[in-house]
Structure 1
Amino acid sequence: MSERPIYLNMAFVGQRVTGQQRFATEISRRISAQSTVIPVFVPSWIRSRALRWLWVQLILPFTTRRGTLVSLTARAPLVHPRHVVVVHDLFPLTNPEWFSPLFAAVQATLLRAHLRFARKIAVVSEPMAEEVRRRARPGMEIVLVPNAPSEIFLSRKETQSGLLERLKLVPAGYLLVVGSMDPRKNLPRIVEAYDAMSDEQKRALPLVVVGSGSSIFSGSDVEWPSGVIRAGYVRDDELVDLYSNARATVFGSLAEGFGLPVVEAAACGSPLLLSNIEVFRWLCGGTATYFDPLSTASIAGVLRLVMDTEPRGEHQGLREVSSRFSWERSADQLLDAVTGPARAGLPVG
């Protein structure tokens, strides 16, 4: 594969930065510096979302047909003769009810094509690799290319974003939830569990919710009780301040492909309250407190535990969680997979 030109699909540029876009931004910054890699952008004059999508499906695979195409997000063509695709999750296939019908149908079609026809597939976690292996064509090469915390989260510098002051928060004086208004983030149960706390507890530890909605998700109605502060979409420097000063950060996801905010929170030293799902166990092992994400009572139990306990120092394993992952290593692993020969059934890890 290395004798052919390598084209990097940059169609994600301009999208709001969430998990997939963060991955694509960090990886593309590193591998596009290689002289053998050619970044390919959607022409700037194409403004319409529909036309940009058509360009990805029709023009991109045609103009890159003589080389290898690397797609880092779900904004990828259906077919290409030599396609290396990063699969972040399989949720449009496994849980289409979490998305709008159109988004689920389109993305499920793309995933089925990639699982069958891609030259190689990169995945972001070991649990995701197992799921992909069960669904991909026999012998598909699967490469592990995890997410990682960015430097701003690792440096832990005082960012002086001013967000805590604007939200009237004090260090160790609030609980934090980070995630889009996506049904799999399980916000209704987390909020219901928080609402079961006493008024005194809620005054002492408000629940700060970071994240915004999107038209791709199906409806997820949340009734916001007293004590909840909705921060919406925040910048990275503001997120560092929130992670670094939270009494604990709560992630109640029903499923994740990786869980990048968990690693970012760990890098900032925030104690972690996590749903007991396989990928979170793979990420954090014994450094977190786990709960049953389907049980409001279980979630309420860990919230009470935090509220009834004096703030403690950082768990020594949190730095180890974040140090396991590196954008440099992941970029090198992906580039090695792209330039190396196809090897059927290559083990991940």
Structure 2
Amino acid sequence: MNIGINARTFSINSPAGAIQVGIQHTKNLLKNMGTKCTLYGHPEGQQWFDTNLRYQSQFFPYNSQSYGVIWERSVLPMLAALDDLDVLFCPNANVPPLGSNAHQTVVMIHHVGTEHGHSSIQRAYRRIAIPSGVQYADKVVTVSEFSKKKIVEELQIDESNVHVIYNGVDDIFFNDVKETNIDLPDDFILFVGSTDERKNLSRLLAAYKQLNSDIELVVVGAQNGIAFGKEQVDRSEIINLGYVSERELRYIYEQATLLAYPSLYEGFGLPPVEAAACGTPVLTSNVSAIPEIMGEAAEYVDPLDVTSIRNGLDIIHDPERLTELSRKGKKQAKKYTWEKATKRLMKVFNQSTR
């Protein structure tokens, strides 16, 4: 099968979760000997792949996502038409607004909650691009039953045309890693997320300040980018590590007493599953897709209620509960692998070309 991948977003140096999902699927598709893959995007998008790639970057001289949006709506359709593709895969809801009889188009939409977080520019882009993209896509894939329900309701498309493919967890989170040079406190609560307002760091920080404990709060995640709605929080009382590598993140998860992830809205939510794979107890939100993904393997709180988050954080004083969550989390995380996810994606590709 000849597969094209819209890799316009892959050139970001510190990709957030949704872009990481597209990168992981692409890595697995490149390993599949039964497929020929062509990536379309800025040359810096090649940084995530070891394999020799067929990478189309014509007329994409600037590593700018704003310029890239114009490029994928003008140049990409022409390049894809010339390459005799069977399927064009658009992993970040980024379908060119031009239909094609030459190939099928499969789009991945993680969520349609444009009112939750994102910068004002990104919100405006998503309000236009997602409904438009769905019109030109032959198949839609998403990452949870929760997101499928929202997509069907809000975009008014046939639910039989929307396929759920759960994300995977990278193998590194199931394996031991050597100690890194990152200096960490002996006991700490970990938050992993961008500056996006929907990640809800402000309420977590307010709850943390009410704790009767000397435990530290460590924050990991990208802190810039046009896609993020910048949450204004005072970071003077926290340990702020910024964006880290996967190997470093694996080590940080393993050392943490607890992952606190009170997000307001998630289509899937990778950090809780990654932490669970490392054996780290998870406290997270009781809303959106997170309970579907984590099942009984998390302590749930109301993300809009600081008192609920603060009370949930009290499990740091309950070693039996922490041990229980660690055990259940490891079992739950094993349900999600990238190999399984990409096999399901290939099944959708095969269905679309029949």
Classify the TM-score, shorter chain: 0.7 to 0.9
Find out whether 1:276 has 2:286 as its counterpart. yes
In 2: Cα distance, 1:218 partner to 1:117 partner:
28
Q: 1:336 maps to which residue?
A: 347
In 1: Cα distance, 2:295 partner to 2:180 partner:
32
AA aligned to 2:71 is W
1:31-46 mapped onto 2 (5 Å cutoff):
31-32=29-30, 33-42=32-41, 44=43, 46=61
Find out whether 1:107 has 2:126 as its counterpart. yes
Does the aligned pair in 1 maintain the 2:95–2:136 contact within 8 Å? no
Q: 2:49 maps to which residue?
A: none
Does the aligned pair in 1 maintain the 2:294–2:332 contact within 8 Å? yes
Q: 2:75 maps to which residue?
A: 59
Shift of 1:61: 1.3
Shift of 1:311: 8.1
Does the aligned pair in 2 maintain the 1:125–1:144 contact within 8 Å? yes
Does the aligned pair in 1 maintain the 2:16–2:222 contact within 8 Å? no
Q: Are residues 225 and 36 of structure 1, via their aligned partners in 2, closer, same or farther at CA, if it must alter by over 3 Å?
A: closer
In 2: Cα distance, 1:292 partner to 1:281 partner:
12
Find out whether 1:230 has 2:275 as its counterpart. no
Gaps of 5+ in 2: 44-59
In 1: Cα distance, 2:321 partner to 2:245 partner:
26
Of the structure 1 ranges 136-145 and 273-282, higher mean CA displacement relative to structure 2 is found in 136-145
Shift of 1:240: 0.9
- 4+ residue stretches of structure 1 with deviation over 6 A? none
Q: Residues 232-282 of structure 1: CA distance to partner in whole angstroms, max 9, x if unpaired?
A: 111111111111111110000001010011110010000011111141111
In 2: Cα distance, 1:20 partner to 1:79 partner:
23
**2:11 partner SS:** coil
AA aligned to 1:235 is S
Q: Are residues 282 and 53 of structure 1, via their aligned partners in 2, closer, same or farther at CA, if it must alter by over 3 Å?
A: same
1:101-140 mapped onto 2 (5 Å cutoff):
101-134=120-153, 135-138=155-158
Of all paired residues, the percent bearing the same amino acid is: 26
Which structure has more RCO (C-alpha within 8 Å, separation ≥ 6)? 1
Q: Are residues 61 and 34 of structure 1, via their aligned partners in 2, closer, same or farther at CA, if it must alter by over 3 Å?
A: farther
How many residue pairs were aligned?
A: 326
Match of 1:248 among 240, 258, 264: 258
Find out whether 1:145 has 2:165 as its counterpart. yes
Q: 1:257 maps to which residue?
A: 267
1:314-329 mapped onto 2 (5 Å cutoff):
315-329=326-340
Q: 1:346 maps to which residue?
A: none
How does the TM-score come out when normalised to structure 2?
Answer: 0.85
Does the aligned pair in 1 maintain the 2:200–2:263 contact within 8 Å? yes
Match of 2:306 among 292, 296, 300: 296
How does the TM-score come out when normalised to structure 1?
Answer: 0.86
Q: Are residues 43 and 302 of structure 1, via their aligned partners in 2, closer, same or farther at CA, if it must alter by over 3 Å?
A: closer
Of the structure 1 ranges 183-192 and 79-88, higher mean CA displacement relative to structure 2 is found in 79-88
Match of 2:5 among 5, 8, 12: 8
Does the aligned pair in 2 maintain the 1:274–1:288 contact within 8 Å? yes
Does the aligned pair in 2 maintain the 1:8–1:37 contact within 8 Å? no
Q: 2:62 maps to which residue?
A: 47
Gaps of 5+ in 1: 344-349
In 2: Cα distance, 1:245 partner to 1:234 partner:
15
